[in-house]
Structure 1
Amino acid sequence: MAKPHGKPGTKAPLIAENDDEDNEREAIKEINKVEYGKSTGLPVPRFVALKSRETNWRNGPGHRYPIKWVYSQRGYPVQVIAEFEGWRKIRDVDGEDGWVHEALISGQRNAVVIANHGQVNAEANSQLIIYRKPDESSYPIAKLEFGVIVKLKKCQEKWCKVEAAGYNGWARRENLWGVMPDEIIK
């Protein structure tokens, strides 16, 4: 990548060495682009959790739209992908989307345990190991099946502190759906 030249305070054109760098730069900008919901002023996309034991997902933003799905798990993490007045378009871990009323979601941070496609160990492909410290050489505390919902306590670059079934420990963030790729939770 070329560096700008000139006196302090002046701008020089950035010269790309090739088109691949331009494409990569544009892709990074697109990934890191944060938009804000017109209704809430909060980032979109963002993760939230279902507040109710039974949540109707609709085909559109309003009670007049037919029910598409009924989710029956309080605390299930979903991603807000759009807002319209008091309605939020949300997506689940499987990529299904629908509209729910804002009263049916909360800011609670949870995640779903998912598979890491890079794992080769057969046992690792069916369970997630929770460690005492954010290090795979640390003492393993528990093993969680894929699909289990965990509470997110905090997240660092590659690890998240989670709570599930009375266990508190660290899990690799690549095995958790419910946290943005570069999101830090304190």
Structure 2
Amino acid sequence: MIPHRLLASLLLVAAPAVSAFDFKSVGAAPVILYDTPSPKGAKMYVAPQGMPLQVVSRYGDWVKVRDANGELAWTEAKGLSVRRNVVVRTPGAKVFAGPEESAQVLMTADKGVVLELVDPTALTWIRVRHRDGIDGYVRSNDVWGL
């Protein structure tokens, strides 16, 4: 018989492998991130439009989210959009015309640049679109939000 603590530990380790992460993006207007699921909580910071956030848990109309820096906070679910964006985490990340290093470089993105995720099923090369209309591919390890 497996002890309960060991079983719980095994389930926690296995859980990420069987379920995809739930990512949303900040909607049309910036949202306030709080330390508790209430507007009476301390305001931590304002997340700008389009910023990707990982939804960690839900509590009524509120969601607990993780940002690209790993910070946890609460915000109202209504302020988030199902539209998927990613944020560049590697300074000077290159966006290529095709899913390969030998493809033409269309742009170089600074750390923190938000890109729209065009194909959320891709693994190694992610198809993205910049707000200026540039559509290309970036390596998945150069962005956060997948």
- TM-score category by the smaller chain? 0.7 to 0.9
Is 1:50 matched with 2:26? yes
In structure 2, relative to structure 1, the CA distance for the partners of 1:127 and 1:100 (3 Å cut) is same
Residue in structure 1 matched with residue 68 of structure 2 by the alignment: 93
The SS at the match of 1:154 is: coil
Give the counterpart of 2:89 among 114, 130, 135.
114
- Percent of aligned pairs with the same amino acid: 24
Residue in structure 2 matched with residue 29 of structure 1 by the alignment: 14
> Partner amino acid for 1:109?
R
Unaligned runs of 5+ in 2: 1-9
In structure 2, relative to structure 1, the CA distance for the partners of 1:178 and 1:63 (3 Å cut) is same
Residue in structure 2 matched with residue 146 of structure 1 by the alignment: 111
For residues 135-172 of structure 1, what are the alpha-carbon distances to aligned partners after superposition, in whole Å with 9 as ceiling and x for unaligned?
Answer: 11112111111110000001422011111122111110
In structure 2, relative to structure 1, the CA distance for the partners of 1:103 and 1:148 (3 Å cut) is same
What is the TM-score with the length of structure 1 in the denominator? 0.66
Structure possessing the higher relative contact order (Cα contacts under 8 Å, 6 or more residues apart): 2
Runs of 4+ in structure 1 over 6 Å off: 25-28
> Partner amino acid for 1:129?
K
Is 1:68 matched with 2:53? no
| Preserved CA contact (<8 Å) 2:29 2:79 | no
Unaligned runs of 5+ in 1: 1-24, 35-42, 116-125, 180-186
Let me know the Cα RMSD of the aligned residues: 2.0
> Partner amino acid for 1:65?
G
**Higher-Rg member (1/2):** 1
Q: How many pairs are equivalent?
A: 135
Is 1:171 matched with 2:138? yes
> Partner amino acid for 2:58?
E
